[in-house]
Amino acid sequence: MKLKSLIVSAALAAVAASATLAHATNLSFTGNFIFDNDVQTFTFVVGDTSTVTLRSWSYAGGVNAAGDTIARGGFDPILAVFDSTGHRLGTQDDGGCGSVTADAVTNACFDTNFSVELAAGTYTASIQQFNNFSLGDLSAGFTYDGPAYQNFRDGFVDARGDRRDGHWAFDIWNVVSAEVVDPVPDAAVPEPASLAVLGAGLLGLALSRRQRSQRRAG
């Protein structure tokens, strides 16, 4: 009886492992940057220890994992990948010729094609324009964070000075799931303390006047 239970348990474990592996897929994302220092992040889930590939298409163009044709002309992308604690696991500037397609105009091989072996778990990947590099762990931010650097390259310009545009296309291969992380809107930035104090003072003055007016009317 115990042997039978053991066989059944082993069979169930094998089925579960196969299901996890079967669910691994390649996912594609596209979008546009507005500012030079924009950063787009993604979270993705690895179901079992496997090699995950992070691949961009928008610099030179090509056909992504979804089968969509991506136009060339996007900015010079760089990337970073982090574990669930925000610890940086790796970065890449260029995939290099032989690993990615050369751009038809510049002949540069600036798309990314970064592969890393990862254990089961949740991870974060980021894409940025060159040379807005990750400063370390995710909490440390990026080289050109902040409103003062929104135009740090005078537009979308690659490492060789070729003018590009803000579109990006990014694949994450061999994962269970992945999703885009929405950036924190500028409106979420706290207003200066002086403006907050002034606003509170004006509100208090208005309430005081209203109360005096109501007393007179009574």
pLDDT at 11: 43
Please give the Cα distance from 143 to 80 (Å, whole number): 13
More confident residue, 127 or 203: 127
pLDDT at 18: 44
Please give the Cα distance from 149 to 93 (Å, whole number): 20
Lowest model confidence (mean pLDDT) among 83-87, 109-113, 179-183, 208-212: 208-212
More confident residue, 52 or 199: 52
pLDDT at 190: 40
Q: What size, in residues, is the chain? A: 218
Which residues partner with 173 through β-bridges?
53
User: Does the structure show a pLDDT above 60 at 192?
Assistant: no
Q: What average pLDDT does the chain have?
A: 83
Structure tokens at 218: 């009574």
pLDDT at 200: 45
What is the average pLDDT across 169-180? 97
User: Does the structure show a pLDDT above 80 at 213?
Assistant: no
User: Does the structure show a pLDDT above 60 at 216?
Assistant: no
This prediction's pTM: 0.75
Q: What is the DSSP string of 34-48?
A: SSTT-EEEEEEEESS
pLDDT at 184: 52
Please give the Cα distance from 131 to 15 (Å, whole number): 45
Q: How many CA atoms lie within 13 A of 82 on its CB side?
A: 20
Q: What is the pLDDT of residues 33-83, one digit of tens each?
A: 999 999 999 999 999 999 999 999 999 999 999 999 999 999 999 999 999
What is the CATH class of 21-183?
mainly beta
User: Does the structure show a pLDDT above 80 at 202?
Assistant: no
**Domain spans in the chain, listed from the N-terminal domain onward:** 21-183
Q: How many CB atoms lie within 10 A of CB 113?
A: 21
Structure tokens at 22: 């079967």
Q: What is the pLDDT of residues 3-22, one digit of tens each?
A: 444 443 444 444 344 444 44
More confident residue, 44 or 197: 44
What is the average pLDDT across 135-162? 97
User: Does the structure show a pLDDT above 90 at 207?
Assistant: no
